[in-house]
Every structure is written in structure tokens, then in C-alpha cells.
Amino acid sequence: MQEGSFKGRVVVVTGASSGIGRATAHAFARRGATVVLAARREEMLRDAQRECAELGGTALAVPTDVTREQEVERLAREAIGRFGHIDIWFNNAGVGVFGRFKDIPTEVWEQVMRTNVFGTMYGAKAAMRHFRERGRGVLINHASIVGRLAKPDSSAYATSKFAIRGLSEALRQEVLDQPEIHVCTILPSVIDTPFYEHAANYSHHRVRAAPPVYPPEKVAETVVALARRPRAEVVIGGFGKAAVTLKRLMPSAMTRLNGRLLNYGFLAQEPSPETSGAVFEPMRDGRTVHGGWRKGGNNGGVPSLLALALIGLPLGWMALRRGRAAAGRGSA
């Protein structure tokens, strides 16, 4: 068991069949937590349940479609009925779609909202009601760096992540009267998960993870840290932190830069047919935690050309403006 035991603490993780959710379930299980796993793919949940038990935790798999409020309520009831209480609820389930705004079918847009926004709301509603009754608890909502920056070809996903940040902030203000209830929001940068293979795609290009790409375990460890010492909002990944800082310092320039660079980063030259991906039905491709994107320059520890451009170009532009301003003052 790792340092900082969570033995006796009950953690609900949605979207636990793969990616960040599965990595987070593993991280809590290693620390002896009781983990309640929720996702649409029952067979993969059962596998994750076995893995958590082997890692030293207690696990319960509850197949759940977070777009259906009654299923999320059942998830909460089963967790409480089996283990007596919930300490931490991680709203992680989410789907994405790539493509220009005009090309994304309305029904796909709506389903992204149902999954990402309403799924988070249903989980928050169930968790917060229980936390209110107990007087304590930690709710962790999975937003994204896209919830601060947005990006082209992902209008539905960006909208959903901005909404999650707004929901989280509103809930923080509502529980000021109960200081032992905490609402946290995580904003990961690009993470090495199956998300990109599972996303709907109407861009007509193959979707890929834009470097630098960070491991899902980095996100999982952040979630564990928040469960222990809650903070309102955490950006994960150096690239994301730098981008958020630049967006605050020079918003207009970053809008132009993001609009020019990010679509090239996430969309390859190779053509791709239109697909709704896992938006309506889960993809049963057997992919678990990783997506296989951390290769060469994609590794989160290695600066990429895209990262250097995003960070270096605005700084250079700022330096140029300051130099011109200084020259203007000198000639005055």
C-alpha cells in the first residue's frame, strides 16, 4: 500500500472503464480505498474491479450511463447501501467530437452535452445531497484545459468543459456554509488515453493527440492529492499551465494562435470517414488506460514544436511590442 492510506474511504469514479478513470481507480486502490466503478462497458468494469482488488483495494462495479439520471441515482444508492457512505465522488465520464461547428450533427452536439454537462450535474446532485447530509465530502469534476482556452474543431467539447467549470464554481459558493464540503475542478492538458480513438469525428481528418502528451497517471495522482487536500481548480501539465498564463496576459493573441495551430495539432493529414465514435454507444475495442500517444516528441517531458510555438511566439510578440514602445518613448 502506498503512503497516505485511504483505507475506509469510499470513492466513486465515473468513466472508470478506461483512460483517466481507470488510472484513478488504480491509484485509490493502491492506497487501500474502496472504489465504486461506473461506466457503460460492464465487461471492462469487471476487469477494472479485479485489478483494483489485486492492488489492495475493495471495488464494486456498477454499470452506469451517466446521461440517465436514474442510473446515476442508482449508482449512489448502491455505493451507500453497500459501504454506508461516500467520501469522494469523481465526475470523470466524458465524450468528445472533432469537426467544424457547421459539420457536427445537432444530435451529436446534444449528446456531448448530455454526457459531459448533464452527466456531471447528475453526479454532482447525488453526491452533494449525500455530502450535505454527512456534513463533509469531496466532489471532483473533470473539466479540461479546453475549458479555459477552447479550440477550433471542438466547439461542443469546449462548451461542455466551460460549463463544468461554471457549475463547479457555483457549487463552491453554495456550500460556503459547510466548510468540510469541497468542490474541485481538474483541467488536464493532452493526456495519453483512448479518448482520441473514441471521439466522434466529422473533420474528415484522422484525429490524434497533439503533443506534448502527459500520462493518465499524472491526472490520477492529482485527483488523489485533491481528495487529501482540496483546491478549487488545478491545471495539469506544464504546457497547459503556460497556455493559461499566456491567455490571461494576452487573450487576443492567444485566440489567434490557438485558432491557427491547434487544429493542425489534433488533425492529421490522412483522411478519415465520419463517425459518431463512442458518443452514443461505447466502443468495445479493449483499450484500457493508455492510448499509445507518448512517443518521441509527444512525450510530456519533451518540448514539442507546437508547445514551443504556443509559448514562444506570444512571448516574442510581447517583447517586440515592448521594444517598439520603448523605442517610441526614446524618440519622443
The answer to whether position 4 is within a domain reads: no
- Read off the pLDDT of each residue in 49-53 and give the average, rounded to a whole number: 98
More confident residue, 296 or 98: 98
- Report how far residue 25's alpha carbon sits from residue 35's, in angstroms, rounded to the nearest whole number: 6
pLDDT score of 295: 80
pLDDT digits (tens, 9 = 90+) for 53-101: 999 999 999 999 999 999 999 999 999 999 999 999 999 999 999 999 9
pLDDT tier, 205 (very low <50, low <70, confident <90, very high otherwise): very high
- Read off the pLDDT of each residue in 295-301 and give the average, rounded to a whole number: 60
Name the grid cell of 320: 517586440
- Read off the pLDDT of each residue in 222-235 and give the average, rounded to a whole number: 98
pLDDT tier, 262 (very low <50, low <70, confident <90, very high otherwise): confident
pLDDT score of 173: 98
The answer to whether position 195 is within a domain reads: yes
Q: Is the CB of residue 3 less than 8 Å from the CB of residue 32?
A: no
> At residue 331, does pLDDT exceed 80?
no
The answer to whether position 109 is within a domain reads: yes
Range of weakest confidence among 60-74, 202-216, 314-328: 314-328
- Read off the pLDDT of each residue in 306-315 and give the average, rounded to a whole number: 53
- To the query of whether residue 202 is one of the catalytic residues in this protein, the response is no
**Overall residue count recorded for the chain in this entry:** 332
Q: What angle do CA 35, 41, 46 make, to 5 degrees?
A: 45
Q: Is the CB of residue 99 less than 8 Å from the CB of residue 153?
A: yes
- Report how far residue 55's alpha carbon sits from residue 203's, in angstroms, rounded to the nearest whole number: 40
Burial of 241 (0-12, 13-18, 19+ CB in 10 A): middle
Name the grid cell of 106: 445537432
The phi-psi region of residue 304 (left if phi > 0; otherwise alpha if psi is between -120 and 50; otherwise beta) is beta
pLDDT tier, 114 (very low <50, low <70, confident <90, very high otherwise): very high
pLDDT tier, 269 (very low <50, low <70, confident <90, very high otherwise): very high
The answer to whether position 281 is within a domain reads: yes
Q: Residue 280, CB half-sphere, CA atoms under 13 Å: how many?
A: 8
- Report how far residue 183's alpha carbon sits from residue 137's, in angstroms, rounded to the nearest whole number: 9
Q: Is the CB of residue 313 less than 8 Å from the CB of residue 257?
A: yes
Residue-wise over 12-44: b if at least 16 C-beta within 10 A, else e? bbbbbbbbbbbbbbbbbbbbbbbbbbbbbbeeb
CATH of the domain at 59: 3.40.50.720
> At residue 313, does pLDDT exceed 80?
no
Q: Which of 157, 196, 202, 214 is catalytic?
A: 157
pLDDT score of 96: 98
pLDDT tier, 329 (very low <50, low <70, confident <90, very high otherwise): low
Range of weakest confidence among 159-173, 214-228, 243-257: 243-257
The answer to whether position 3 is within a domain reads: no
How many domains does the chain fold into? Answer: 1
- Read off the pLDDT of each residue in 269-278 and give the average, rounded to a whole number: 97
- Read off the pLDDT of each residue in 201-213 and give the average, rounded to a whole number: 96
pLDDT score of 72: 98
- Report how far residue 76's alpha carbon sits from residue 127's, in angstroms, rounded to the nearest whole number: 7
Q: What mean pLDDT value characterizes the chain? A: 91
The answer to whether position 174 is within a domain reads: yes
Number of C-beta neighbours around residue 171 at 10 A = 20
Give the gyration radius of the chain's Cα atoms.
20
pLDDT score of 302: 42
Residue corresponding to grid cell 483495494: 57
The answer to whether position 2 is within a domain reads: no
Q: Which domain holds residue 216?
A: 10-331
- Read off the pLDDT of each residue in 100-117 and give the average, rounded to a whole number: 98
- Read off the pLDDT of each residue in 19-29 and give the average, rounded to a whole number: 98
Dihedral pair phi/psi, residue 275, rounded to 5°: -150, 145
Please give the C-alpha separations between residue 47 and each of 34, 62, 121, 272, in angstroms, as whole numbers. 16, 12, 27, 31
pLDDT digits (tens, 9 = 90+) for 152-195: 999 999 999 999 999 999 999 999 999 999 999 999 999 999 99
